Each structure stands twice: as C-alpha cells, then as structure tokens.
Amino acid sequence: MTIQPNDRPLLEWTGDSLAIGLFEDAVELTGELATLDQKFAGVLKELIAEEEFKGKANSTIFTRVSGNTPLRKLIVVGLGKPEALKIDTLRRAAAAVARVAKKQKSKILGLSFPLWNNDPEASAQAIAEGVELALYQDVRFKSEPEDKAPQIETVELLGFAGQEAAINRAHQIVSGVILARQLVAAPANAVTPITLAETAQTIANEHGLQLQILEREDCEKLGMGAFLGVAQASDLPPKFIHLTYKPEGTPKKKLAIIGKGLTFDSGGLNIKGAGSGIETMKIDMGGAAATLGAAKAIAQLKPDSEVHFISAATENMISGRAMHPGDVLTASNGKTIEVNNTDAEGRLTLADALVYADKLGLDAIVDLATLTGANVIALGDDIAGLYTPDDAVASQLEKAAQTSGEKIWRMPMEEKYFEGLKSGIADMKNTGPRPGGAITAALFLKEFVKETPWAHLDIAGPVWTDKENGYNGSGATGYGVRTLVNWVLNAGE
Ligand code: BES
Ligand code: MN
Ligand code: ZN
C-alpha cells in the first residue's frame, strides 16, 4: 500500500472509494460538498438523513454510488465538534475509514479531511498512522489467511500535497509499532529471551545501532543478583540487551528506555493459578517490545539525542533451581531483597536494569513494564500509569502521550507506602500489601535509581486489547512506541 499526498480537487477525484470527514456542525452539506452531492444526484444528503448521521467522532456511514462513474463508494466519517478536534481524532477517523474501505473491497481510497490546528504536517502524519495501524493484520500463526479480501493499494490524502516527509515519518513510526505488536502477539514458544536478543541484533544491523548483549556470566560479574534470581529456573539463557543509538555530532540529550522483558511469567513458585490469566503471560515482555519498537523507529527518524534501549530479558519459570519464596537476593547496587512473592518478578529484573542505566550518566530514564494487575484495577485496560518523582519528565511524557493518542495518567508516589515493603531480614521485600500495589511497585523501582531523572510507565492494561479499539485491532497494541518516539524527538527542544 502506498499513501500519496496530493491536491486533486474533490470534485474531479477518481478512484473507487472517496471518504469525507465531517464535523458535527457540517452535516448540512455546503460549498464543495453540496456540489459533490449534486454530482451524485443527492445521494450523500440522502445517506446522511437515512442513517441519522450526526457527525459524532468515529461514526461511519457509506453508500454505493451508481451511474457512469469509476467511483463506487462514498464513505463519511464523523469528526465530532470542531472545537474539540484533537490530533488523535484524525488518526482514529482515518483508521475507521480504512477499515470500512477494506471491507468494501476498495483498492484506491481518497481521503478528504480537515486540518488539525492548521498544521498539515502533523495532520498528514496522524492520518497516515491511523490508516497503516488499522490495516495491519497478523497472519503469522495461521496456516492459511482467513481474510482473502483484496488489499487497499493506494490511499490518496487530498489537500496534503507536499507532505511526503510527514507520511514517511508515519511509516517509520508504524514500523516500530508493528514490530512491538508482533513481539507481544507471538507466543512464549516463539519469542524467547534469545529471540529478543536476535531482534535487537537485526535492528542494530539494519539501522546501524550499537549492540551489547550481556550473557549470564557478564551479569554475574556485574552483581545482577535480582535479575539472575528471576532467570535461574528457566532452561533458556537470560539476555541483558543494550542497544544504543548515537546521533551525528554532540547529542542534545542522553536518554534511556528500559523495557520489562519477561517472555513468559508463570509466577514462579508463587505460581499463577486458575483465572489468573497465566495463559496470556506471553505479553509480559510488552515493555521490551515497546523499547525495541521505539529503537527501530528512532534509528530511522535520526533525532539529535542519544538513546539507550535496555531490557533484562528472561522467563519466570519453575524447576528444582527456582527461587524459593523467601529467598534473599542482592541487586547490583548492593541492596538486598527478600522475595516474599516470586510473582513480583518484573521489578526484580528492572532493578538491575535501572542500576545499569543509572551509571551511564544520562539526562533521563523511562521504563515501561507490564508490572502490576493493581494498575489495571486502578486505571482500566486503556490507560498506563505514570509514576515519577520528577515533574519535568512527567510533563514531557504527558505531552508526548497526548500527541501520540496513547493514554497515560500520573499516579502518586506516596512515600509512606514504602513501609509496606519493609523486611525483617533484608533491606526490603519485593511485595507489599494488595492496596496500592502499583504504587509500592513503583516505590520499589525508585530504590534502584539514584542519579538520573526517572519515570516508570505501568502498561499492564494497554499492552493488549481484547476487541478492536480505534486504530488497534484486537490483540497486541504496540502501546508505548509512539509516546516514546515523541518523547525522544522533543527532548532536544
Ligand atoms: N506480569 C504481572 C502483571 C500483569 C498482570 C501484567 C496482568 C499483565 C496483566 C506481574 O509480574 C505480576 O505477576 N504481578 C503481580 C504482583 C503481585 C504478586 C504483587 C500482580 O499484579 O498480581
Ligand atoms: Mn509476575
Ligand atoms: Zn510479570
């Protein structure tokens, strides 16, 4: 599929499906749209009336066009109230149109959308992202594709002549989102710590990044007892992945992105029971997937900041070598941890990754992790929790998320709750009481960052969606990639 920006007039456009975005106050067609309606004998007005179309955001209607014209379908998508138009409204509307057009077997789709904020660049990018994200289908694990409908070949963005660069940028970002979706969607027998390391190697080779993989012995030398404690029951080797993007010239900022990389979380000896969702725990490397997806996108976008992409990848398994509940581990900063629950393993792996990143002398660290069920209870399936003591990093991430359309919400770092992690035998326990469980998880992580401004995103909810949702199909969402990319791109400002 190619996405082409051009200035072909609506009234002269030829192709098989034409889609129009309409605000709530514009369903009484005027101007060019009234002329278009007349050209097709009033079919648009009729459609809007019959369907009682009000222009509500994301509502779509379509009709067959008859007569002597190559145009087969007219599609109308609602954009809501003009004053409420967000950049993500365009992204979602484009996704909705792309889905309808695909179902209607369109090959050449024309899109006529208004601008967000008088900004053709940002608008074109968001529309292109919406189209590409919505049309992606994962058929890797089917012996035969179920969907045999023809693919859309060309999407024309009318009124966006000259926006090739924005569309290209969208494509580069989407390539990162799709990589993240593929990694998360693949089962634990297909994506292992070894696969994650190989994926990092592929990104490094294709896009010229530096890569360092620390093997178990290397991690032992660095004293990464928390990470290795989690890894010790798995038959697969742990991989500590460190990819680096360096811009030409002096970097404006030096940043790290760290992702939780549990390719399967059985819970360990505190094994996940019936109803715990153990069969879905392939998603527990969603942070690592977003990290690698961001690396792939950033390597192509070439921002002027240096970025380190890090994941301590392993499985959390059971065997005769498994951690016992109650074991005491020593992390690479010397702190001791009583593992009162082997299922709180993500924070153990992140602890050593954070200590490692903290020593790199960076301006900021962001970690992403499918860390707690408690965060899902607090914020639901669509919103990531943002935990940070640093107001500046918080607002950078909130801004980046706003642009990307990914929802985040800042949560409190209530220091008093650290009391719940006090241990009689070690410096701290890895698990506190159930109430506020996502907050104590973040407070635990904070113990392993001393020098660097840091934020943690708990993405346990949005990493996955059971049903089609906006530009996400059902399944892995690739959550985080677009926010991370925006965060890095804005960091130089
Ligand atoms: N990977 C899970 C968290 C999770 C839960 C992710 C649901 C996605 C969906 C994490 O390792 C875990 O098991 N957390 C425990 C922590 C508890 C033992 C303190 C949880 O949330 O129940
Ligand atoms: Mn767990
Ligand atoms: Zn986990």
CA 344 to ligand 1 center in whole angstroms: 6
25 labeled binding residue? no
So what's the pLDDT on residue 464? Answer: 98
CA 267 to ligand 2 center in whole angstroms: 5
How many angstroms separate the CA atoms of 77 and 23, rounded? 9
pTM beyond 0.85: the answer is yes
So what's the pLDDT on residue 424? Answer: 98
345 labeled binding residue? yes
C-beta neighbour count of 10 within 10 angstroms? 16
Tell me, using a 6 A CB cutoff, whether residue 306 lines ligand 1. no
235 labeled binding residue? no
| 347 carries an active-site annotation | yes
Instruction: List the structure tokens of 392.
Output: 């500046």
So what's the pLDDT on residue 211? Answer: 99
Residue nearest to atom 22 of ligand 1 (CA): 373
What are the pLDDT digits (tens) for 75-96? 999 999 999 999 999 999 999 9
C-beta neighbour count of 355 within 10 angstroms? 23
- Choose, from 91, 181, 347, 429, the residue flagged as catalytic: 347
Write out residues in the chain with pLDDT < 50, as ranges.
none
Tell me, using a 6 A CB cutoff, whether residue 460 lines ligand 1. yes
Most distant CA pair in the chain: distance in Å?
83
CA 12 to ligand 3 center in whole angstroms: 55
Quick check: 446 and 389 in contact, CB under 8 A?
Answer: yes
How many angstroms separate the CA atoms of 412 and 433, rounded? 17
How many angstroms separate the CA atoms of 441 and 428, rounded? 12
Instruction: List the structure tokens of 90.
Output: 């365009």
Q: Tell me the three state secondary structure of residue 21.
A: strand
| 272 carries an active-site annotation | yes
